[in-house]
Amino acid sequence: MSQPSPRDTGPATVTSIGGGIGQSARRLDGVPKVTGEFPYASDLRLDGMLWGVTVRSPHPYARIRSVDTAGALATPGVHAVLTHTDVPGRNLTGVEQADQPVLAVDVVRYQGEAIALVAADDEGTARRAAARVVVDYEVLEPVTDARAALASDAPALHERGNLVRHRRLRIGDAEATAEVVVTGEYRTAMQDPAFLDPEAGLAVPDGEGGVDLYVATQGLHSDQRQICAALGLPPERVRLTLAGVGGAFGGREDLSLHVHVCMLALRTGRPVKMVYSRAESFVGHPHRHPAVMRYEHGFRPDGTLVYVRGEVVLDGGAYASTTAEIVANVGAMGTGPYVVPNVAMDCYGVYTNNLPCGAMRGFGMVQVTFACESQMDKAAAALGMDPVELRIRNAMHEGAKVPTGQLLDSPAPVAELLRRVREAPMPPDRTEPSHASGDEPDTTGQDGVRRGVGYAVAYKSIAFSEGFDDYSTARVRLEMSAGEPTVTVHTAAAEVGQGVMNVEAQICRTELGVDRVVVRPRDTAIGSAGPSSASRQTYVTGGAVKAACEKVRDQVLALARRRTGEEALYLEEGKITSDSGNVLLALRDVLGDEAVEETVTWRHRPTYPIDPRTGQGFAHMQYAFAAHRAVVEVDTGLGLVKVVELACAQDVGKAINPQAVEGQIHGGSVQGLGLALMEEVRADGGRVANASFTDYLIPTIADVPPMRVDVLELADPHAPYGLRGVGEPPTISSTPAIVAAIRAACGRELPRVPVRPEDIVGLPRVPRASSTSPTAWKDNCR
């Protein structure tokens, strides 16, 4: 395959294939991805470009005594070696809090922190030169236990201490009592986004002190803001274009190589490319927060939920990233999709010397939903109730209040989703004994394979919250091109695989009745669309495109009224029709040589900051709901698990592209399966032990079971087309459903994910140190 120029990585996509809202229009990038012709960011190449490499700390925590770059600079083929003294602007970046150095100054806080940069003629030379940068460290004892980091005698990793954020949630009576009480401590591991194309970008200096950056990212304007601050340049001098993205899942929401590659390009005056190795990628982006969660649930004998008390500690790693926002999510929704009158919860985000943690699909709800759903199963056993019936009895519903006091003013079909997965046909039983992970005979010498069925339900907020000014900008242009009406749509919404380009085209076809749509490259030449995160792009950017189309349509009809003299006109299938349905004009006759263009910045309904004492307030503009049923087979002798089937029911409000919706549910479910059974970034004293896809396991096609998907379309009256965000809920409910099924098969508590074979067979696990007694945490809820 010939190497593309930078601008080939984000081509305008022209399609004459129809497909409006509610149709499974073919993916605009589908064919080139399947044939291998799609240019990803790591495919970027320009004649005369240099290669950039980052020098990283091997220590989780250390003071930097000195950095000697002489050996690297003396290497033939090296053009630049940069350290923190070469950062032209502010040497701090961060999605929400600017606390992470572009290049370390006097201390490194995690293994892999960036210290220096090298640019050379080729990648091999750059890596050899990087190895010749000599850093003199004073190695320090790392703080790697998040609960211990909160202790008063713990070393302060940042000037303001180790607490990133504490979120309180208080409703009702904090001292409420109940006849049936269940408690538990639950843990979730650090999960990697594991996108297949690593971090990559190409920076091209413009010769006038500015730079063009082609990069795989989730948010062009968020990146631009941070890059400009670090380079000391205004936005018009730092232009970003989205390169081909090979997966994201939250891991591309933070900066990685962005500032580094721009610095090297500006210093050398040459295009510079950077691509992370796989091991470097594991330390080069944030991960899902490991969590320790302690819960107490109280019920009446009839199963009515009386109170929830809990404490959640999230290990944020070395820098804040989006930890504060995830703490807010957990603090608001950490009791699950249930009506509960009395809540006393505390959530803490903590700095440690582990790898930085931040946004990942589910944004904190994956962790607490595992704990809450485990508690519901434990309560069902204590009450002698069916676990699905217990959930239905306490389910949220339209008209109920969430724990923040916010009224649910759109469908909230928690009970309906549970009923649907429960009533879905079960997969057939095994007819012959088989090994739990394949078709081989049972190797235990007896048929120790048992089937288990488990359920879970989840909810999650959509878009940004707590008063954040959440908006998107879209430009829509309608004109004659190549003899037919053509719509061109331009937004900065990052296409990370979720299909937002298709959504934009489908909205244009529906609103303007034009089949031919051109989707422009994503770049910062248009106003911000915000990042592709929080399941928000179809809602927010879709809303912006719809609003822009409506304004274009109004202009077209105004032109047609001047031509026809009639007032009641409609634009349908490229024709102007009257109130009676008669065709009056073809669209080409109305447009002629004119182009009609509108740019709209669109916002969803406002949210508001919460009360920091109680956690009360209208914090979220929309919620989405999903439920799973998992069927597993477990070899109780070997501790091996085979997921036989996953059934998912999810309310999406309106399926803009039904096939894409189903794909999101499939993909999200598999990512939850990975956390349930295999995915864990293992670290000892802050040092990563499995930074490769040989040792960090993710589900392959052999691990993916048949899936039943039941899509509900219960319109949200506040949303464009009634839609709801889709991408995150299935990741949230699949993990606890799978673990519940394993529990049903093996009879063990399984309070931690991923579930390991020794957990199933009952081998002892080495206990982890804790900074508090098993009961002291309850005092924090008073």
Q: Amino acid identity, residue 358?
A: G
User: Distance between the two ends of the chain, CA-based, in angstroms?
Assistant: 64
User: Would you say residue 409 lies in a domain?
Assistant: no
User: Would you say residue 104 lies in a domain?
Assistant: yes
Question: Cis bond leading into 286, ω under 30°?
Answer: no
Region of 686 (left: φ > 0; alpha: ψ -120 to 50; beta: rest) is left
User: Would you say residue 295 lies in a domain?
Assistant: no
Task: Look at residues 284, 314, 333 and tell me which one is the last residue of a structural domain.
Answer: 284
Strand positions, DSSP E, 594-720: 596-603, 623-635, 640-651, 683-684, 687-688, 707-712
Q: Containing domain of residue 486, as a range?
A: 471-603
Chain centroid to Cα 592, Å, comes to 45
User: Would you say residue 631 lies in a domain?
Assistant: no
Residue 377 main-chain phi, psi, to 5 deg: -65, -40
Instruction: Compute the half-sphere exposure of residue 119: CA atoms within 13 Å on the CB side of its CA.
Output: 24
Task: Look at residues 284, 316, 342 and tell me which one is the last residue of a structural domain.
Answer: 284
Token pair in block for residue 320: 């804040």
Closest CA to 337 of 727, 533, 621, 623: 623
Torsion of CA 526, 553, 470, 651, to 10 degrees: -120
Q: What share of the chain is helix, strand, coil (3-state, %, to 5)?
A: 25, 25, 45
pLDDT at 765: 58
Chain centroid to Cα 55, Å, comes to 28
- The full DSSP string for 182-207 is EEEEEEE--B----SS--EEEEEE-S
Measured CA to CA, the distance from residue 480 to residue 467 in angstroms comes to: 42
Torsion of CA 433, 436, 440, 443, to 10 degrees: -80
pLDDT at 485: 94
- Enumerate the β-bridge partners of residue 201: 215, 274
User: Would you say residue 671 lies in a domain?
Assistant: no
Task: Look at residues 266, 284, 302 and tell me which one is the last residue of a structural domain.
Answer: 284
pLDDT tens by residue, 686-716: 999 999 999 999 999 999 999 999 999 999 9
Mean pLDDT by 10 residues, the chain (782 residues): 44 60 92 94 97 98 98 98 98 97 98 98 98 98 98 96 98 96 98 97 98 98 98 98 97 98 98 98 97 98 98 98 97 97 98 98 98 98 98 98 96 98 93 42 61 98 96 97 94 97 96 94 98 97 98 96 90 90 92 95 97 96 98 97 98 97 98 98 96 96 97 98 97 98 97 97 59 32 33
CATH value at residue 558: 3.30.365.10
For 53, 263, 581, 759, the CA distances from 205, given in Å and listed in that order, are 18, 10, 56, 55
Number of structural domains, the chain? Answer: 2
User: Would you say residue 249 lies in a domain?
Assistant: yes
CATH value at residue 132: 3.90.1170.50
Run of H or E residues at 473: strand 471-481
Token pair in block for residue 121: 């003629």
- Enumerate the β-bridge partners of residue 62: 108, 139
Strand positions, DSSP E, 362-464: 449-461
Residues 6+ apart with CB under 8 A from 152: none
Q: How many CB atoms lie within 10 A of CB 627?
A: 34
Report the b/e string of 719-741 with b at 16+ CB within 10 A: bbbbbbbbbbbbbbbbbbbbbbb
pLDDT at 574: 87
Residue 255 main-chain phi, psi, to 5 deg: -70, 150
Closest CA to 407 of 623, 171, 611: 623
- Enumerate the β-bridge partners of residue 136: 66
97, 44 Cβ separation under 8 angstroms: no
- The full DSSP string for 700-721 is -TTTPPPEEEEEE----TTSGG
Closest CA to 632 of 752, 750, 760, 742: 742
User: Would you say residue 22 lies in a domain?
Assistant: no
User: Would you say residue 586 lies in a domain?
Assistant: yes
Burial class (CB in 10 A: 0-12, 13-18, 19+), 161: middle
pLDDT at 17: 59
- The full DSSP string for 52-117 is EEEEE-SSSSEEEEEEE-HHHHTSTTEEEEE-GGG--S-S-B-SSS--B-SS-SSEE-STT-EEEE
Give the strand pairing for 623-635 and 114-120. Answer: unpaired
